[in-house]
Chains A and B, each alone.
Chain A
Amino acid sequence: MPLLKRITALIIIAAIVQQSAAQDFSGFKAFKISEDNKVFKINTLYKNSEGYIYAGTTNGLYTFDGKNFTAVHFLNPAVKDTVTAIFQDNTQQLWVGFKSGKLAKKINGHLQYFEPEEGTPKVAITAFLQDKQNNIWFATNGEGIYYFSNKHLYLLNEAEGLSDKYVHTLALAANGDVLAATDQGINICSIAGSKKTVQVIGPKNGLPDYYITAIAPAGNNTFWIGLQEKGVCLYNHTTKQITIPAAANQWPYGQVNALLGTQNSLWIATQESSLLKLSGTNGSMVRVFATATDKNNLNNLLQDNEGNVWMTGAEELIATTGDKLSLLPLYNKAVYETIHTILSDYQNNIWVGTDGGLIKYTVSNIKTATTFFRVKELSSKTDITGLYQDIYHNIWISTMGEGIFVMDAATGKYRNITENPRLKKASLLSITGYGNTVCAGGLEGVATIFQLTEINKTIAANYAFTNYDSIPNVGNNYIHSVFKDSRGRIWFGTDGKGITVLQNGNFLHYDKSNGLKDEHVYSFTEDAKGRIWFNTKDAGIYSFADGKFKNYATAEGISDLKITSIKTDGLGNIIVVNEKGIDILNPESGLITYLNNAQGIGDVNTAIESTATDSSGNILLSTENGIVMYTPIANTVQQPKTIINSVQLFLQPVDTSGMHQFKYDENGFTFNFTGLYYTNPAEVHYQYKLEGWDTSWIATKDQSIPFPNLRPGTYTFHVRSSLNENFQNASESTYRFVISSPFWKRWWFIVLSILSGALLMFWYMKWREKNITKMQLLQQEKIQFRFEVLRNQVNPHFLFNSFNTLISAIEENPKTAVDYVEQLSEFFRNIVNYRDKDVIQLGEEINLLKTYFYLQQKRYGDNLKLNITIDEASKKQIFVPPLTLQLLIENAIKHNAVSKETILKIDLFLQDHHLVVRNNINPKLSQQSGTGMGLQNIINRYNILSKDPVVVNNDKKYFTVLLPALKQQQ
């Protein structure tokens, strides 16, 4: 067969031997922290449990959100102490160590100095660690290692065998041992029980040197060890073996300051040789920042939750994309402009299609070798559109106008596939394959599928093929790609006629009528779950599963609808390539992250076949600066984490862990939040909603939202963030709080008020009732008394006696009889005068009394004595119910014997605010019965008029009645 007619010897243009460390990609960003033009040095970095980066500086502690540094509020704001160590323990407690030896932690929500009873070191604190018993350790620069245990602080120093009290850093081993890096070897400290042991590891154990500067965990109880002069080595704490990686032999890079072990590499921050990366896959050592001359004195390596690698420089904080992106500057601009397709082969060599042939780049630890494979038939005008390596490791080359060539990758021998006449001078747009199938599609409806068998191990044998010339609904249309999936279906992507699928011998067609918004389909990929994905000209990408299409365009977060190609990476993410970089879509969550010019990727080739996937699942892009490799990193954050940084009440911070209840006048709130995303913080979109105030989500780019003058009520502040406009799976943070009504609006107050009102009304009515009753009683008593008096006065007995006396008087002394009658009439006249009054002046009552007495004295003579000792003032000031005293006197006369032997003496005087009527008791032989109602009546009347009771005393000698002296007129 005339296959091997044109076998062209390969020409090796040049084997470009690179320097011992190949140049690598930086894509770094640098941040400075300064105030008033004074730049502060960052001594230490720390990532907390939320992924927030802390920076310990010469001006105190700061947090960094990817854009700005914010000072962490210290209880005494004037304190700006130099921070040298930061740690968060497993109870979320924050610990800070200072150059002065002081310690600080958050007590009652405020970061403040903390002085244990044992005191704090006098030298700088260099590192913290929490061991397997949850004890907190801290290493110092000159006093050894301290640790807290059982309420006490203990110290490990030379007394326990610590080889050096200047400890740089600590690491925790699987069995609970604490490894300490010092200038005198590694100290392995154990405090099992109360027994403290320190074991020293040095050169006698295999360490290259004593001067240990860094220890970083590498998994499985192994640790990377950094040294001052001798580079790095790997220490296995289980076997106690020490191994030195090949690239670290004859270490020429100087002092190692810090180490960071990631999934794929060991990052080494050095003092004089900037940043190094030791590859875990091929053992190569590359120097990052090769072009930047000022990146020295690097330290404090830290990996954020997105996989970026951070470090401190002389005066700045530096971010790189870490393992995610690396650059292989394999070709120059001239070569770049000829490239339309690349390929990564089974040995991870990189092939590119260029004018007239292929270039193969072999990247290794030592050098990059370049080999050119000429394809004679190809002029500079014939583009190579696609490359594919089949299962027999032969490379297929699709071209514009010369059909398909197949090349032996080892020898460079090739032939054009002439056994398929359809391919003669054909223009193919792509070439792909699956298993033992190779597919190609191109202009004028050409679509061919090759089936490989054992004979195709060499390129000499003919390939079995099938041409699909007249696919229904496709016709002469361009076929951008022919794709075979894991289920054996063949997909044909056309330029304007939608998709045709060959399944079990049947052609199925999908176009606008099936929901495809754009019928120009460029390329296909299959994800880990068997979904088929493809990109269209203007409508973004689609996934196809279970007979359904799902579209991802701008609304879902696709950054650029001019999509170059679509690939699946090693972790199952869909990589959507555009001219600025890539969108990384997680097919399960729909979350999309972005890497582009902002991360240092230069302009990306827009030819459909110019991206490739390698055997590890990395994505290779052809860019103007070289081949950029994207390495997917497992367990990284794929969206911003929404964190409410602080809640302020009238611009004063509120303790969000505790109080959530506020008074009615505490109603001016400000919410400060961050969607934490370090890769591209400027791209973060926010939405917030104050439930209880807003009815829907509000979009904002601000990170601080004020709400002045909130009414009393229950509120929940929601905020969420996203890298695009799609908030479906966004991380959300909330703060719930209550503003109480003022007490006068509270239910209990209102109820109490009503009850009080009711009670007051009730009491008032009762009081009135009492008064009315009292008045009624008084009235009643008055009537009763008048009645009594009247009754007494109309008492026939009194009249009878009075007349008897009168008769005697008329007989004895007519003149006195006239007086007597006058007094009698006077007496009765007074009764008439006073009977309506409630009370009369004492003076008036006394006059009446005197009148009555005169009448009685006429009868009894000197056997009746009345002694009145009351001053004139009192006679006017004191009041008595009328006829009270008269009735008492009358009672006295009625109930006592009055004779020469038994003189009745009645005294009337004032005593202690009482009016006293007292008479001596002369018992009568026969008691004239009185009803007793008169005295009772007096008592009753006084009860109404005064609080003081009327007191009646009878001590068998004297009968005394004490009447309360009424001062005012009732």
Chain B
Amino acid sequence: MLKKLTIFSGLLLLLSFSMQQDYKVTAGSIAFRSDAPLELIKAQSSDLKGLFLADKKQFAFIVNIKSFKGFNSPLQQEHFNENYLESNKYPTASFEGKIIEDIDVSKDGEYVIRAKGNLSIHGVVQERIIKSEITVKNGNISIRSNFTVLLADHNIPIPKVVYEKLASEIKVDIKADLIKK
């Protein structure tokens, strides 16, 4: 938690010093979906925040776990926070790292890029490569990305009782619009 905050604030600091092309998330949403044989769980949050330093190809995204809404019942949301993600101990999930390709955000267009970074969920950090589609228009960037999170990767155990109701692979969908700072 502390580590994450440090990285995040570090980037923020970096941001304040740099005078290059830096982008900030203005509208970011993240949705996840657990498609299990006996139950489909969906939730989303529009509390996604993030930064992208175009020159250094570095980025960081962060979301508050408690901001996820849309479960099948309030009890489910409560279990999500208290038992599975333990959001009191680990209030946020984040992904920060560096883009693999060279990308020129000064030119309008659509690009497919891959980001290599650390995905931190439930206090467990996993290095991941995540593919995204980036659209640059009039100096603004919008990112669209979907990827899979394996619960086992982040130490989120599925109790046998809910085995058929919770998928071990969660599909995550991210949409974010960024503007130049």
Contact = CB atoms under 8 A, between A and B. Distances in A.
Contacts of B101: 122
Given A118-B114, A157-B100, A159-B116, A151 B150 contact: yes
A797 interface: no
B98 A152 contact: no
Contact of B131 (A117, A151, A155, A159): A117
Given A117-B147, A117-B148, A154 B129 contact: yes
Contact of A157 (B116, B130, B153): B116
B112 A119 contact: yes
Contacts, number: 33
Contacts of B98: 159
A118 B129 contact: yes
Given A117-B131, A118-B114, A118-B129, A155 B148 contact: no
Nearest to A154: B127
Interface in A154-207: 154-155, 157, 159, 194
Interface string B132-163: 00000000000000011010010000000000
Instruction: Tell me what chain B mostly uses at the interface: helix, strand, loop, or mixed.
Output: strand
A143 interface: yes
Contacts of B129: 118-119, 152-155
Nearest to A140: B100
A119 B114 contact: yes
B127 A119 contact: no
Interface in B97-120: 98, 100-101, 112, 114, 116
A123 to B, nearest CB: 9
Given A143-B100, A151-B150, A157-B100, A119 B131 contact: yes
B128 interface: yes
Interface string A112-124: 0000011101100
Contacts of A150: 153
Interface residues of A, number: 15
B131 A118 contact: yes
B132 to A, nearest CB: 9
Nearest to A115: B131
Nearest to B125: A194
Contacts of B126: 152
Contacts of B116: 155, 157, 159
A306 to B, nearest CB: 42
Interface in B56-70: none
Contacts of A159: 98, 116
Nearest to A123: B101
Contacts of A118: 114, 128-131, 147
Contacts of A121: 100
B113 to A, nearest CB: 8
Interface in A86-127: 117-119, 121-122
Contacts of B100: 121, 143, 155, 157
A157 B100 CA distance: 9
Interface in B67-104: 98, 100-101
Contacts of B112: 119
A151 B148 CA distance: 10
Contacts of A153: 129
Interface string A513-544: 00000000000000000000000000000000
Contacts of A119: 112, 114, 129, 131
Contacts of A155: 100, 116, 129
A196 to B, nearest CB: 8
A553 B150 CA distance: 68
Given A117-B131, A118-B130, 19 more contacts: A117-B148, A118-B114, A118-B131, A118-B147, A119-B114, A119-B129, A119-B131, A121-B100, A150-B153, A151-B150, A152-B153, A154-B127, A155-B100, A155-B116, A157-B100, A157-B116, A159-B98, A159-B116, A194-B127
Interface of B: 98, 100-101, 112, 114, 116, 126-131, 147-148, 150, 153
5 contacts: A117-B147, A118-B147, A119-B114, A119-B129, A152-B153
Interface of A: 117-119, 121-122, 143, 150-155, 157, 159, 194
| Nearest 10 CB-CB pairings of A with B | A119-B131, A118-B129, A119-B114, A155-B116, A153-B129, A122-B101, A118-B131, A155-B129, A143-B100, A117-B147
